Amino acid sequence: MFRRLAAGVTRRPWWVIGAWLVAATALILLAPSPETKASQEAPAGAEAARAARLAEAAFPGGTADSTIIVVHRPDGSLTEADLAAVDRVAGELAPAGVLPLEAGGAVAENHAVALLRAGPSPTGSDAAAIEDLRRLVAEAFAGTGLSALVTGPSAVDADLAGAIADAERVVTAVTLGLIVVLLLAFFRSPVAVLLPLLAVGLVYGVSTALLGLGSAAWGVALGREVPTMLVVVLFGIGTDYVLFLLFRYRERLRAGDTPRQAIANAVERIGEVIFSAGFAVIVAFSALALASLGFFATMGPALAVSVLVMVLAALTLIPAVVTVLGRAVFWPSRAAAPDRRQAGRFTGWVGRGVARHSLAVAAGTAVLLGGLGAGAILTKADYDPISQLPSGSESARAVEVMRTGFPAGALSPTQVYLDAAQPLAPAQLEAVVTAVAALPGVAAPMPPQVSADGRTAMVPVLLAVDPYSAAAFDIVTGPLRDAARAAAPPEVTVLVGGESMLWAEIRDGTSRDLTLIFPLAGLLFALILAGLLRAVLAPLYLVLMVVAGFAATLGATTLLFQGAMGRGGLSFTLPIILYLFVTAIGTDYNILVTARLREEIRDRRTPREAAALAIAHAGPSVLAAALILSGTFATLLFAGVPFFTQIGFAVTVGILIVAFAVSLLLVPSVTALVGRAAWWPGRRSPVGSPPNADLMPEVGGVVQSGTGGSAGR
């Protein structure tokens, strides 16, 4: 298959390049941009979502919106004159939906802070509306000596969206700069630098266009984090695949092939690796379509489509361009000149060490992974969107001020909805309010709001705990809901809504998704590896090694952020992100090394010789690809968003662990120890023609003189 593909691409390279350019231009010009939205959505049918729909139907004008204006005097407590000024300003801001103090606002008992609530405004509660409100508030309070800050779920969401947009610009710029520097270091050629950048840029445009078409066709909006992730994934994994190809191409040029022969041989040999690695990533990403949370269910398939386009480009567009350029790909470097030395000095040394001391290397690496993985036991999930805001954002500062005078739950009251076929009696409402007020963890219920027909009521409840904490989630899904339902008449439907309920259901949905997707992904990885290697035993221990790398990465991240930095937990999405980018993409390196091991075994190598040669030959491309991929994720450390900071650290460390500890040390050492049984039930006798001495790498301390690698055939 890949031999025919290589022959076709190298025979008519201009046709391939032209087809890509025409298709890309048409898609980019004609396709709409993909629609994006906030990702914090409860699973379909969740109680918080049903409560929101009930509120929308019963209160057409809307209940008091969750946008809060926090007013305080920086140099002291609020005076009566200050409170009069607050009421006066609220009246001026009434057209923007701001309510006076007596209509949902409050003054702290210690007079440290006063709250104004903003009802639904004509412009809604999107980011632009929040910015407009902040501008109006700042102008209205100017000259009063008071400070007014806008917060609440809507404002938090707007601040987070702005931070993510800023992060995307920073990440893109830093990623491009880093890739340029690293590629120049590896190839010392501006052409080799531009090739992956232009290819990935083209693929990014095609992928974005396809996602826009899909979004429009199915009416599905992508999570707003997807564009940033798309940049990192495509530049990371796309550069990986280009590197795999270029390293093999350079190896064949050094062996004496003509440029056309070299790229054809490279596609034939490395094409299966790129296809299998890409297929593993695509399957892993696509598995997220089974997730109940919209954040995962849209991000996974969107990234899968992009990786598919990248795989197609790596197998067709890149070889076609290399065919046209020939040796000029590496200009002005002479690194691709014919040379008997086929392996890097460092990787040759590592290969000899692993082959000679396989048991010690395997045991030492296992101890390292196990030690780091033990930290994963301490991992706690953080669902607080406030903790994900950049330091200094207005929403975060407002929350800190508000907490000086109000219960933590004042940021986002929980709503208890009562819905009946007949108008609700005051005594029925009073019974629910009384039952809820007596619960531990509840600071105070607020006055109920009743619909125009009297059949629906909403009881706001202030929690005494942080509304985004595990304690709040447990209260609203347990005692609060139970007490409200017990106090309401049997014919009355009781629903609990609000941010605490929303995030409680996101927590439950995340737990369900993890227990479904992780085992499924492990099975799919094993099947893909079994198909590539035509074996059963090797895929099984390879999957176990990937799991060990995942656990070690999660443990290291936990030890840093929860231990050294004292954070309450890691972002709840982090395990899935690590699954996507460490387990799935990191499998590329395992596939590359294992495919080379199989190649050497088929060329009549002993298992230890095969291990030495596989590391020597595949090692340079693994090292280069891992450094670039981990480097692209390290750029997230500059994003200024705690969510991205955690992802940046975790994936950077994870890629390095999987590439160095797992792919270059553990996989070859264990395979050397297991021997030919690793390829059971495939043919255990070596196949192929005698080894070619011309391809002898610098691993002579392990391989007998006169033998060499199999890269050429």
Q: Is 131 found in the same domain as 15?
A: no
Going by C-alpha positions, the residue among 52, 65, 75, 70 that lies closest to residue 149 is 70
What CATH number is given to the structural domain containing 133? Answer: 3.30.70.1440
In the beta sheet, which residues pair with residue 61? none
List Cβ neighbours of 400 (8 Å cut-off, separation of 6 or more).
Answer: none
**pLDDT, tens only, 319-362:** 999 999 988 888 887 655 554 444 457 888 999 999 999 999 99
Q: Which residue's structure tokens are 């919106």? A: 65
pLDDT at residue 711 in the model:
35
Sign of CA dihedral 229, 292, 494, 60: positive
Domain assignment present for 713: no
Is pLDDT above 90 for 494?
Answer: yes
The whole domain housing 93 covers 67-151
- Three-state SS string over 357-399 comes to CHHHHHHHHHHHHHHHHHHHHHCCEECCHHHHCCCCCHHHHHH
Q: Let me know: does 615 contact 668? Beta carbons within 8 Å.
A: yes
Residue bearing the bigger pLDDT, 629 or 413: 413
Domain assignment present for 393: no
Q: Is 233 found in the same domain as 175?
A: yes
- The predicted model gives 129-139 an average pLDDT of 89
CA 364 to chain centre: 30
- Other beta carbons within 10 angstroms of residue 680's beta carbon come to 13
Q: Distance between CA atoms of 648 and 643, rounded to whole angstroms?
A: 9
Domain assignment present for 703: no
- The predicted model gives 5-34 an average pLDDT of 90
- The predicted model gives 24-43 an average pLDDT of 75
**pLDDT, tens only, 85-99:** 999 999 998 888 888
pLDDT at residue 65 in the model:
52
Domain assignment present for 406: no
Q: Is 512 found in the same domain as 473?
A: no
For helices 479-487 and 470-477, the axis angle rounded to 10 degrees is: 20
Q: Is 493 left (phi over 0), alpha (psi -120 to 50) or beta?
A: beta
> Which amino acid, residue 587?
T
What CATH number is given to the structural domain containing 442? Answer: 3.30.70.100
List Cβ neighbours of 251 (8 Å cut-off, separation of 6 or more).
Answer: 266, 342, 617, 711
List Cβ neighbours of 18 (8 Å cut-off, separation of 6 or more).
Answer: none
pLDDT at residue 375 in the model:
93
Q: Distance between CA atoms of 353 and 332, rounded to whole angstroms?
A: 34
Q: Distance between CA atoms of 510 and 550, rounded to whole angstroms?
A: 18
Query: What is the helix (H) or strand (E) element at residue 101, kind and residue range?
Result: none
**pLDDT, tens only, 660-687:** 999 999 999 999 999 888 887 765 444 4
Domain assignment present for 635: yes
Q: Is 345 found in the same domain as 372?
A: yes
Q: Distance between CA atoms of 632 and 516, rounded to whole angstroms?
A: 29
Domain assignment present for 649: yes
In the beta sheet, which residues pair with residue 37? 223
Final residue belonging to a domain, choices 132, 151, 170: 151
CA 95 to chain centre: 41
Q: Is 656 found in the same domain as 634?
A: yes
Domain assignment present for 618: yes
pLDDT at residue 710 in the model:
36
Going by C-alpha positions, the residue among 124, 235, 120 that lies closest to residue 173 is 235
pLDDT at residue 647 in the model:
86
Q: Is 351 found in the same domain as 481?
A: no
The percentage of residues in the chain with a pLDDT greater than 70, rounded to a whole number, is 90
Q: Distance between CA atoms of 312 and 16, rounded to whole angstroms?
A: 11
Cis-peptide, bond into residue 681, ω within 30° of zero: yes
- Three-state SS string over 179-225 comes to HHHHHHHHHCCHHHHHHHHHHHHHHHHHHHHHHHHHHHHHCCCEECC
What CATH number is given to the structural domain containing 514? Answer: 1.20.1640.10
Q: Is 260 found in the same domain as 364?
A: yes
Q: Is 209 found in the same domain as 183?
A: yes
Q: Is 94 found in the same domain as 56?
A: no
Q: Is 164 found in the same domain as 25?
A: yes
Is pLDDT above 50 for 56?
Answer: yes
Q: Is 608 found in the same domain as 666?
A: yes
Average pLDDT, the chain: 83
pLDDT at residue 38 in the model:
57
Q: Let me know: does 349 contact 206? Beta carbons within 8 Å.
A: no
Overall number of domains in the chain = 3
Final residue belonging to a domain, choices 98, 131, 151: 151
Range name among 127-136, 266-275, 295-304, 439-448 with the lowest pLDDT average: 295-304
Q: Distance between CA atoms of 508 and 385, rounded to whole angstroms?
A: 17
Among 153-167, 292-306, 396-410, top mean pLDDT goes to: 396-410
CA 467 to chain centre: 25
Domain assignment present for 520: yes
pLDDT at residue 30 in the model:
87
Q: Is 452 found in the same domain as 434?
A: yes
Is pLDDT above 70 for 191?
Answer: yes
Q: Report phi then psi at 536, rounded to 5.
A: -115, -45
**pLDDT, tens only, 522-534:** 888 888 888 877 8
Total number of residues shown for the chain: 713
The percentage of residues in the chain with a pLDDT greater than 90, rounded to a whole number, is 31
- The predicted model gives 545-570 an average pLDDT of 91
Confidence of residue 119 (pLDDT cuts 50, 70, 90): low
Instruction: Name the DSSP class of 98.
Output: B
**pLDDT, tens only, 411-459:** 788 999 999 999 999 999 999 999 999 999 998 877 888 998 999 999 9
- The predicted model gives 582-588 an average pLDDT of 76
Is pLDDT above 90 for 493?
Answer: yes
The count of C-alpha atoms lying within 13 angstroms of the C-alpha of 493, restricted to the half-sphere facing its C-beta, is: 12
pLDDT at residue 338 in the model:
54
Q: Which residue's structure tokens are 């931070």? A: 163
Final residue belonging to a domain, choices 97, 118, 151: 151
Is pLDDT above 50 for 67?
Answer: yes
